[in-house]
Amino acid sequence: MLQTDYSSRYSLSHLMEVFPSPGKRYTLSPTPSKWRQRDILIQNWFDHLNDQAPWDLYIHIPFCKSICTFCGCNVKITEGHDQEGIYIDKIIQEWSFYKKEFPQAKVNNLFIGGGTPNALSDKNLARLLENFEFEGLSIELAPQLFTESQAKILSQFKVRRVSFGVQDLDQHVLQNVNRQQKTEDVYNALFLARKYGLGDISIDLIYGMPLQTSHTIEKTFTKILSQYPDLVYYYPLAHVPWQASRQKAYGHFESTAQKQKNILYEKGVNKLNQEGYKNLGFNAFVLKDSSLDYSHSLKRNICSIGSDLSSTLIGLGVSSITSNNKMYLQNHKIIEKYLHSDQKERKLFPIGYIKSEYDISLESIFQKVFEDKVIKDQNYNFTNMTRYGLLEKNKGFYKVTEAGLHFLPHILDQLEKQLHSNNRYS
Ligand code: SF4
């Protein structure tokens, strides 16, 4: 069965041993660790921004009610709602600079992520949303905090997708990473999302957490897939050594051995295959016949996968990333610095990157591989990947196989190395 499913003579877990993760996700190229430009004038950014095509917006809400020890996001743990008002004011102020300079600008997608956007009080959630005009909203939600009143608020806006960060359903696994979430919370959240017509439902799951076994993963998938979410993201646990102290703060936290991670991934993928989910690449699996399954020209950015993503993404809030085809910029990563930066008139982005011609070419090549699953052959050498069935060589191009969809970052990594060494686009 594995041979048919993965179009390779090798099992998925074996292929994962042969092709260990290159560690890049290819949503930002180059990655932020290589961004060197400091204190970029906002006017410089405005000069590279045009409002002829609609923009997408991302708003980062950093607040969470408790810390999950595996988490690599920019979060702030809060008990009540005292700090939310000033933070939302700042986001509205940040947006007002854009509105002043580009009064005609239209917003297509509004993405709200975190942190936990639904850690906000009902009043603050509604106030935030009322300050923006947009064509469609995608919002990340914690199922254990999701209430009927939040669902009602969201239903007053054009919601395209709700993404529930579930991660796992096994109680031992969850308690060990300090996450209070019951299976009933998740079922109830999905019920409310459907009752109030909140667009597509996406679920995030993680493999590689301590105490996960193929048995617990199988049970988690059986429960989740019985609810038929439209989209499932199945991510590896992020390796964030700089957060090691947080990860070790509770319970047992030994990194799962790579071999075990591969088995957990394969187990989840088997369940997704059995229930009719199709691999889009980059850990995203879509339910066959759902709206995304029929989307042509699927694109991806740091927020999402979709057919209607804009090439300009404006990031608002602490640590948010802003990008278009010329630049990357990032807001302050420390909330206090973000809140107190240029209170009266915002003048600077603390860090960013101006893309070279080479970066722009690379980005469009990577996007094309994701869209078409094809690489135009320019005397590339993919012998090993072809031998293992990740790519199929045809006249003039390589086609990414079903097996290869699990290894898109590896394929792009190989491609990037060859482009670098041949210096074809510099
Ligand atoms: S709720 Fe989400 S963002 Fe908050 S700490 Fe847990 S994993 Fe991180």
Q: For 10-26, write each residue's pLDDT tens digit.
A: 999 999 999 988 778 88
Q: Is residue 370 part of a domain?
A: no
Question: Which alpha helices (DSSP H) does 48-102 contain, by range?
Answer: 84-101
For residue 151, the CA-to-ligand 1 centroid distance in Å is 20
3-state SS class at 59: strand
Question: What are the beta bridge partners of residue 184?
Answer: none
Ligand 1 pocket, residue 389 CB under 6 Å:
no
The pLDDT of residue 426 is: 43
Q: Is residue 55 part of a domain?
A: yes
Atom of ligand 1 nearest to the CA of 72: 8
Decide if pLDDT at 239 tops 70: no
Decide if pLDDT at 172 tops 90: yes
CB 12 within 8 A of CB 18: no
Question: What are the beta bridge partners of residue 279?
Answer: 285
47 burial (CB, 10 Å; 0-12 / 13-18 / 19+) is exposed
372 vs 296: CA distance, rounded Å: 9
Token duo for residue 358: 């080479």
Ligand 1 pocket, residue 206 CB under 6 Å:
no
The pLDDT of residue 394 is: 92
What is the rounded (10 degree) CA torsion for 269, 275, 278, 282?
Answer: -30
Q: Is residue 402 part of a domain?
A: no
Q: Is residue 63 part of a domain?
A: yes
Atom of ligand 1 nearest to the CA of 71: 8
The pLDDT of residue 207 is: 95
Pocket residue to mutate for ligand 1, from 67, 118, 240, most atoms within 8 A of Cβ? 67
Token duo for residue 185: 């919370």
pLDDT band at residue 1 under the 50/70/90 scheme: very low
Ligand 1 pocket, residue 114 CB under 6 Å:
yes
Nearest CA to ligand 1 atom 6: 68
The pLDDT of residue 341 is: 79
Assessment of whether the complete model's pTM goes beyond 0.85: yes
For residue 345, the CA-to-ligand 1 centroid distance in Å is 32
Nearest CA to ligand 1 atom 3: 115
Atom of ligand 1 nearest to the CA of 115: 3
For residue 140, the CA-to-ligand 1 centroid distance in Å is 11
**What count of Cα atoms within 13 Å lies in the side-chain half-sphere of residue 114?**
23
**What's the Rg (C-alpha) of the chain?**
22
Higher confidence at residue 255 or residue 399? 399
For residue 86, the CA-to-ligand 1 centroid distance in Å is 21
Nearest to 45 by CA among 332, 352, 337: 352
Nearest CA to ligand 1 atom 2: 115
Q: Give the mean pLDDT of 152-162.
A: 97
pLDDT band at residue 3 under the 50/70/90 scheme: very low
pLDDT digits (tens, 9 = 90+) for 174-184: 999 999 999 99
pLDDT band at residue 291 under the 50/70/90 scheme: confident
For residue 116, the CA-to-ligand 1 centroid distance in Å is 7
Domains identified in the chain, total number: 1
Q: Is residue 205 part of a domain?
A: yes
pLDDT digits (tens, 9 = 90+) for 96-115: 999 999 999 999 999 999 99
Decide if pLDDT at 191 tops 90: yes
Ligand 1 pocket, residue 75 CB under 6 Å:
yes
Concatenating the DSSP letter of every residue in 40-85 gives EEHHHHHHT---SS-EEEEEEE-EESS--TT--S--EE-SSSTTHH
310 vs 324: CA distance, rounded Å: 9
Nearest to 210 by CA among 250, 165, 151, 267: 250
Cβ neighbours, 10 Å, residue 274? 13
For residue 143, the CA-to-ligand 1 centroid distance in Å is 11
3-state SS class at 354: strand
Pocket residue to mutate for ligand 1, from 66, 67, 75, 247, most atoms within 8 A of Cβ? 75
Token duo for residue 141: 């939600």
Q: Is residue 158 part of a domain?
A: yes
Atom of ligand 1 nearest to the CA of 70: 7
Decide if pLDDT at 253 tops 80: no
135 vs 53: CA distance, rounded Å: 13
97 vs 348: CA distance, rounded Å: 12
For residue 71, the CA-to-ligand 1 centroid distance in Å is 6
The pLDDT of residue 22 is: 72
**Phi, psi values for residue 6, rounded to 5°:** -105, 5
Q: Give the mean pLDDT of 44-62.
A: 94
CB 404 within 8 A of CB 415: no
Domain at 127, CATH number: 3.80.30.20
Q: Between β-strands 391-394 and 397-400, what pairing exists: parallel, antiparallel or unpaired? A: antiparallel
Range of the domain at 167: 48-306
Q: Give the mean pLDDT of 118-123.
A: 98
Q: Is residue 32 part of a domain?
A: no
Nearest to 314 by CA among 327, 303, 302, 323: 323
Nearest to 199 by CA among 161, 250, 142: 161
For residue 331, the CA-to-ligand 1 centroid distance in Å is 20
Q: What is the mean pLDDT of the chain?
A: 90
Ligand 1 pocket, residue 73 CB under 6 Å:
yes
Q: Give the mean pLDDT of 158-167.
A: 97
For residue 349, the CA-to-ligand 1 centroid distance in Å is 26
Q: Is residue 426 part of a domain?
A: no
For residue 166, the CA-to-ligand 1 centroid distance in Å is 10
The pLDDT of residue 378 is: 86
Token duo for residue 246: 């947080």
